[in-house]
Every structure is written in C-alpha cells, then in structure tokens.
Amino acid sequence: MSFKTILFAAIFSTVAAATSFAASPTVIQVSLTGEGGSDMHIKLDQSKIKAGKVEFNVTNEAKTESHEMVLVKLKSADQTIPVLTDKHRIDESKVKSLGEVEGLEPGEHGKLTADLRPGSYQLLCNIKSHYESGMHTILTITK
C-alpha cells in the first residue's frame, strides 16, 4: 500500500468513527401503564438528559388498555396543557407536537426519534380520559 492509501484509510476511519459516535442517540425507555378506571402513568428510565438526538423506546405494559405516547414541546416547565373537557382529551391544535407513537395495543412496542433542544417537554397519552387519569410526565433537556 502506498502512503496516500494508508493516510486516506486512517482519515476515513477517524471521520467514520466520529460520525457514528456523534450520531448515536440517547435512548429512553418509556413504559405506558394503567387500566381503565385506575391510575395511568408514563414512566421514563431517565427524566433529565442532554440535548441532541433522542430515541424513545415505548412499551405498553397494560394488560387490556391501548395507549399512545405524544411528545410535546413546552414553552416553560409549568405550562398548562389545554384539555377539552367535553372530549376528555388535550387540544393537540394548541400544543407543539414533535411526534407520537400511537395505537399501541397491550404488550406492543414502538419507537420515536427526535432531535431535542434544551427545555421542557411533556410526554402524554391523548386517548380519551387517559391524560386526566395521570398519563403524562415531564422530560427536561439540558445543554
């Protein structure tokens, strides 16, 4: 091999390694729990992470209830999410949704990847009455 070939291979390997390291998302395990008539929850294995690419691995751990996970960017950590009381759901037209994993039947899994900047985010289930039953949580993204 020539010096140029070796040099090119070394540079390519370094760039490829740096790119794959930088592109690796932070993975958050998300657990959706609760049955009709009981408390419902969204549990995260991490609730505070650094800004960047995030992969949400979502599992519906309920036995009989369908769930979903909607990712919402909040204007502030104490922002109130508007609820349509007659429909028992949040008004998604009034929030900034960054994506969702919807229609998870009991035992099913789904994924959502998002590039998150510093701030507060809410993860919620917007199936009828689930938000009101406690199915929401806050995720904090730091610099």
Tokens of 38: 């009981």
As for how many domains the chain has, the answer is: 1
Contact in structure between 67 and 128 (CB atoms under 8 Å): no
Three-state SS at 14: helix
Residue 14 lies in a domain: no
Residue 95 lies in a domain: yes
Residue 102 lies in a domain: yes
User: pLDDT tens digits for 68-90?
Assistant: 999 999 999 999 999 999 999 99
User: pLDDT tens digits for 91-129?
Assistant: 999 999 999 999 999 999 999 999 999 999 999 999 999
How confident is the model at residue 113, as a pLDDT?
98
Residue 19 lies in a domain: no
Taking residues 19-30, report their average pLDDT: 79
Residue 40 lies in a domain: yes
Domain range holding 40?
A: 25-142
Residue 6 lies in a domain: no
CATH for 46: 2.60.40.420
Q: Is the model's pLDDT at 131 over the cut of 80?
A: yes
Contact in structure between 43 and 31 (CB atoms under 8 Å): yes
- Concatenated DSSP letters of 46-63: -SEEESEEEEEEEEE--S
Q: What share of the chain has pLDDT > 90, as a percent?
A: 78
Output the average pLDDT for the chain: 89
Vertex 44: Cα angle to 40 and 48 (nearest 5): 135
Q: Residues near 77 by Cβ (< 8 Å), separated by ≥ 6?
A: 120, 138, 140
